[in-house]
A and B are shown apart, each in its own frame.
Chain A
Amino acid sequence: MIDPLRGSRGLPLFLFIAASLAALPAAADTAGKPTSQASMRPSLFSFSAEACGFGGMTGMPGRPALERTAYSIDAILSVSDARWTYFALGADYVDVNESIPDPTLFLYRGYGGNSLFVEGGPRFALAGLGFRPLAKSRVETLGGAGVAATEDTGTTLVSLVPFLRFDIRLVNPLSPFWGWSIGIPVEVQRRATAITGMAGLSLTIVVRLPEDTK
């Protein structure tokens, strides 16, 4: 049988819910426990584990644009200060499901694989948006590019898929050591003449490395 995970449209949703359930109780537990503001300076280094679910469209010349869904699981190492994310180096597993068919029963194939990407961009502190009495939340705006080595689902056909990636994240510190963020990632992928644009929701657990706690 075909690997059921490769064709599953429910998995991204499951990941969202699981990540939400994992993050929300932690926020509740931490609320009300005073934490030193001094220790909440922005990290120089941080590590993030992220689950993203996407919805989007694929189109190419002479063919209609058709809806499809996707998910990715990312690991990201970032170097940032209060105002900038200088760079975020990410590696992920991405799975793009096949599209819905058009009236002639043509559709776009699913594919999945591993990708590497680099992002960077400004960060903004948002007064009053923090989970009291913790530090201020921050909005990160990121832009970058990457490339994915993918295999068409159910085949042995290997392709490279370059992509642009944009991200807006609201980062909520929960302690000097970790926090969580919710974001809206946008990706534009190109496979020869086929262009895929996707937007979605990401939930991220951010682990701040020891340098931040000095």
Chain B
Amino acid sequence: MKRASDSGTEGRARSRQKMRDTKVMRDNPTRRRLFAMLLLFVGAALLGLQGCALPGAPTDRYAIVIGVANYTYLPGDPCLYTDNDAVSMAETLTKTHWLVQPELISPYQDTGATYDYKTSATGSYISPTKSAIEKAFGDLATSLKAQGRVASTILVYFSGHGYQDPASLIGYLCPSDTTVALDVSSMITIQELDSWINQVPATNRMAILDSCYSGYFVAPGQSVDAAPPAYLPADGQTVDGSLSTALANASTLFAQAISNESDPSILTIAAAGARESSYGDSSFIVSPSTDPHGVFTWFLLQADQNAETNGDKLVTATEAFAYARSQVLAQWDGNSNNTWLTFLPHISGGSGDIVLYDNR
């Protein structure tokens, strides 16, 4: 009995010792500190992820929308569906809190449309001649300066013909009064577009260009674009990998990375590369509505509802571009009928981005 009792006492003692040991382990201040530290960091991460309050929608984002379907001096060479592009873009921008200026559109209907066309809600357009486009920027700049205001953002959207000088490979945008002789002085150069946009007092500047050779207007900034100026997989022109592009251009990229070069002053999205065409969709494969559009613009319009990724109801220009680019690749370039009609959208470089569609 005694032995049993002793044994029981020893057992209880061992049990108490074990409990003390366990308690020591549980109370080990180092472990508690480490665990508290882990909790603190996870909590801070959670708060950081949830606590980013978004600013309200600014009320001073201005857009100048241009669509040139009918060319006064090129009656046999209309640019189909660009009128629909411009009207649809104006509608979408208005819906997403942009102040769209009087639309600069030359509808194809003026010469007898062979497709259904959209009409603006206002029903009135200004003919998009070179001087009228320049005046639209000047009027907006004058108005803002007279009020002593700086707009949040100025956006220009252009859908129409583009031209490339075959000798110099310089790209141009073609307003409605582009001359028959293709005199480049009647067209819009990159310097002219930049100066028109830059004269508007605004914090952010953006251009969306749906025309052939529009990639010429895209500045890569501190980056190198892995996509070629003419994307033609059937002819071996494909997009390089990012690592191989970085290695091939390492010295240039490193010099740019440590330079004091600012971002390009205008965030530019182009439907096509500097040496390729942009297309409208006459077969209704890509834009299956009664109002056909340009391929790129159609997908850029769809990005309003489809490109948002993080639930904040804001679609940035880069998100919209990424969506439109992926759809052009999949639905246009991937169509076997378009083997020799492939193209790829491009976007300018730089660290900055701008919200394009605000759906709040």
Complex contact B322–A161 (CB within 8 A): no
Complex contact A162–B319 (CB within 8 A): no
Complex contact A7–B309 (CB within 8 A): yes
Interface check A132, CB cutoff 8 A:
yes
User: Are A157 and B153 CB-contacts (below 8 A) given A69-B49, A105-B314, A192-B262?
Assistant: no
Interface check A41, CB cutoff 8 A:
no
Q: Say which residue of A100, A131, A192 sits within 8 Å of B257 (CB atoms).
A: A192
User: Are A12 and B45 CB-contacts (below 8 A) given A31-B25, A98-B316, A158-B249?
Assistant: yes
Interface check B223, CB cutoff 8 A:
yes
User: Are A149 and B246 CB-contacts (below 8 A) given A106-B353, A107-B355?
Assistant: yes
User: Are A2 and B309 CB-contacts (below 8 A) given A31-B25, A156-B226?
Assistant: yes
CB-CB nearest in chain A for B311? A9
Q: A7–B318 Cα gap in the complex (Å)?
A: 12
Complex contact B152–A114 (CB within 8 A): no
CB-CB nearest in chain B for A107? B353
Complex contact A162–B322 (CB within 8 A): no
- Annotate B97-137 by CB proximity to A: 1 below 8 A, 0 otherwise: 00000000000000000000000000000000000000000
B325 → chain A closest CB, angstroms: 8
Q: Say which residue of B34, B347, B355 sits within 8 Å of A157 (CB atoms).
A: B347
Complex contact A170–B353 (CB within 8 A): no
Q: A202–B232 Cα gap in the complex (Å)?
A: 44
- Annotate B245-288 by CB proximity to A: 1 below 8 A, 0 otherwise: 11101100110111111110000000000000000000000000
Q: Say which residue of A32, A55, A58, A170 sits within 8 Å of B351 (CB atoms).
A: A58
Interface check B321, CB cutoff 8 A:
yes
* In the complex, chain A residues whose CB is within 8 Å of the CB of B182: none
Interface check A102, CB cutoff 8 A:
yes
CB-CB nearest in chain A for B24? A132
* In the complex, chain A residues whose CB is within 8 Å of the CB of B225: 156-158
Interface check A49, CB cutoff 8 A:
no
Interface check B169, CB cutoff 8 A:
no
Q: Say which residue of A55, A69, A105, A129 sits within 8 Å of B55 (CB atoms).
A: A105
Q: Which of A60-68, A75-83, A117-125 contacts B (4 or more CB under 8 A)?
A: A60-68
Complex contact B258–A157 (CB within 8 A): no
Q: Which of A13-21, A138-146, A206-214 contacts B (4 or more CB under 8 A)?
A: A13-21
Complex contact A158–B31 (CB within 8 A): no
Complex contact A155–B321 (CB within 8 A): yes
Interface check B220, CB cutoff 8 A:
yes
Q: A98–B307 Cα gap in the complex (Å)?
A: 14
* In the complex, chain B residues whose CB is within 8 Å of the CB of A61: 262
* In the complex, chain A residues whose CB is within 8 Å of the CB of B152: 103-105
User: Are A2 and B323 CB-contacts (below 8 A) given A16-B45, A104-B153, A159-B349?
Assistant: yes
Q: Say which residue of B42, B56, B153, B353 sits within 8 Å of A13 (CB atoms).
A: B42
CB-CB nearest in chain A for B262? A193
Which B204-261 residues have C-beta < 8 A from chain A? 204, 220-227, 239, 242-243, 245-247, 249-250, 253-254, 256-261
* In the complex, chain A residues whose CB is within 8 Å of the CB of B319: 2, 7, 154
* In the complex, chain B residues whose CB is within 8 Å of the CB of A128: 30
Interface check B48, CB cutoff 8 A:
yes
* In the complex, chain B residues whose CB is within 8 Å of the CB of A109: 316, 318, 350-353
Q: A193–B222 Cα gap in the complex (Å)?
A: 10
Complex contact A108–B351 (CB within 8 A): yes
A residues with CB within 8 A of B: 1-2, 4, 7, 9-10, 12-13, 16-17, 20, 31-32, 53, 55, 58, 60-61, 63, 67, 69, 98, 100-109, 113-114, 128-129, 131-132, 147, 149-162, 170, 182, 190-194, 201
6 interchain pairs (CB within 8 A)?
Answer: A55-B48, A107-B352, A107-B354, A129-B30, A149-B247, A193-B263
10 closest pairs, A vs B, by CB? A154-B322, A149-B246, A105-B355, A194-B351, A157-B223, A104-B152, A160-B253, A7-B309, A151-B242, A156-B226
Given contacts A58-B351, A131-B31, A191-B222, could you give 5 more A-B pairs where the C-beta distance is less than 8 Å? A16-B41, A16-B45, A103-B58, A107-B355, A192-B263
